[in-house]
Structure 1
Amino acid sequence: MEPTPTPRPHPSPDAPLVTVHGEAHHEVDPETARIQITVNARGTDRRAALADLTTRNQRALDLVKSYGEAIEKLETGSFSITPQLTTKGRHERVSAYHGTVRTTVTVADFTALGELTTRLADLDLTTVTGPWWALRPNSPAHRDARRQAVHDAVRRAREYADALGARLVALLELADQDADTGGPLPRAAGTMRSARFAGPDDDTPAALDLEPQRQSVYAQVSARFTITRPEL
């Protein structure tokens, strides 16, 4: 036989109800940075354009993979090869083919980020966009914010009880308000297109200095407590 559950207290003149909200808001350093690589190729011959695109994309992927454990995730987002038409004359004709591959890279080691983005931007017909700073979904920062929100709710409830000459008796309900945002809306630092940067030996591009963007973490809970009879 299952044990009989303990009766849940209900508000009454001898056990009034107090309802409060608890909040927590703080800023923490980001844990990951995402950049998007867009590789392009263009030519009058479809197969030649596709071959150029494949070669350039593989060169970019090899460069990213060379950073080993600094790379947390590498994902190809989209690929396209598009004929570009000309309307000169009586008939539409294909004047060129434009190919594009977009890849998203998640970087966990920020010490490699500036060098990687600069070297990628130095590749032919390659555009680098980002970074977008973020926290991981299971980041301890989210847990800490929720814990602080609960502590804030208890503190507020106790202050109300103290103002009435009473004390907290029991927690009736605790609800998460789903307000943990995990950070600000993604914001890219900028876009870098393929170009040559003067390095120490004029062959190696100088690494960009990228400062991580602090992430805002917010949590909110609502709680209901019963308190002892107030001394009014």
Structure 2
Amino acid sequence: MSDAPLISVRGEAVLEVEPEIARLSVHVQSQENDRRAALDHLVERNQRCLDLVQSYGEAVEKLETGGLTITPVLKHRRREGDIRAYQGTVWIKIVISDFAVLGELVTRLGDLERTYVNGPDWALRPGSEVYGRAARQAAHEAVARARSYAEALGSRLTGLVELSDEGLYERRSFDQRARRGRPGGRARDRPPVRARPVAGERPARRPR
């Protein structure tokens, strides 16, 4: 093992870029006195929601439906068999790539009966080239910092001993608004949806 001194430094890069996608989380509910009626209404409302989202075609990059649950709602004393209603819930995850339709879609989803919308969450795609740019900038910063330290000690860099990528941290700046639909009602307070910058961060550690 070499006895040459080592310098361990950390490089970090944060890039502010326009978001590439917007994520929405939609919860659809039903509540009826009869279990079967609760299930039927939940399936109907879920399908209505899916049909609406799918009508936007290629503007929707991803559409995912989660598990469907029917839960008994007990009366206050919670005695066995003392059920006053059945509540159904299903969630839908939506990824939007065309922000031009986002505001309209959120509003129309919020108008659906017993449908609750959270979002949008602004983000980059998992394979975005922004992450690579951030990684390269972080590595360059680490090299420059190591070289500066070496010169301050009257030495110079001779090579790379180890490169450690501590992972990617995506910091989202997003405007999260909830749209709540009421039975027979319409969503209120619908400000325009605007994209916010997101930051891709990549730390890199370079021992010398």
TM-score (norm 2): 0.83
The answer for the alignment partner of 1:190 in structure 2 is: 177
Task: Give the Cα–Cα distance (whole angstroms) in 2 for the partners of residues 96 and 35 of structure 1.
Answer: 29
Shift of 1:167: 4.2
Structure 2 SS opposite 1:173: coil
2:59 aligns with one of 61, 65, 70: 70
1:34 aligns with one of 16, 19, 23: 23
The answer for the alignment partner of 1:203 in structure 2 is: none
The answer for the alignment partner of 1:217 in structure 2 is: 200
Would the aligned equivalents of 2:14 and 2:134 in 1 still touch at CA under 8 Å?
yes
Shift of 1:28: 2.0
Task: Give the Cα–Cα distance (whole angstroms) in 2 for the partners of residues 111 and 219 of structure 1.
Answer: 30
User: Where do residues 1-232 of structure 1 align in structure 2 (5 Å cutoff)?
Assistant: 10-12=2-4, 16-86=5-75, 92-163=81-152, 166-178=155-167, 180-184=168-172, 189-194=176-181, 195-196=185-186, 208-225=191-208
Task: Give the Cα–Cα distance (whole angstroms) in 2 for the partners of residues 87 and 165 of structure 1.
Answer: 77
**Cα root mean square deviation, aligned:** 2.8
Higher percent of residues as helix? 2
Shift of 1:103: 1.0
Shift of 1:65: 0.5
Shift of 1:145: 0.9
Shift of 1:217: 2.1
Percentage of pairs with the same residue: 46
- Which protein shows a greater Rg? 1
Task: Give the Cα–Cα distance (whole angstroms) in 1 for the partners of residues 70 and 7 of structure 2.
Answer: 63
Check 1:92–1:175 CA distance in 2 against 1; reply closer, same or farther (3 A cut). closer
Per-residue CA deviation, residues 131-180 of structure 1 (Å, 9 max, x unaligned), is 222222221111111100111122122323444555433223222232x2
Task: Give the Cα–Cα distance (whole angstroms) in 2 for the partners of residues 101 and 197 of structure 1.
Answer: 20
Structure 2 segments unaligned to the other structure (5+ residues): none
Aligned length: 204
Shift of 1:121: 0.5
Structure 1 SS opposite 2:162: strand
Task: Give the Cα–Cα distance (whole angstroms) in 2 for the partners of residues 159 and 42 of structure 1.
Answer: 66
Letter matched to residue 189 of structure 1: Q
Task: Give the Cα–Cα distance (whole angstroms) in 2 for the partners of residues 108 and 92 of structure 1.
Answer: 48
Structure 1 SS opposite 2:186: coil
Shift of 1:49: 2.3
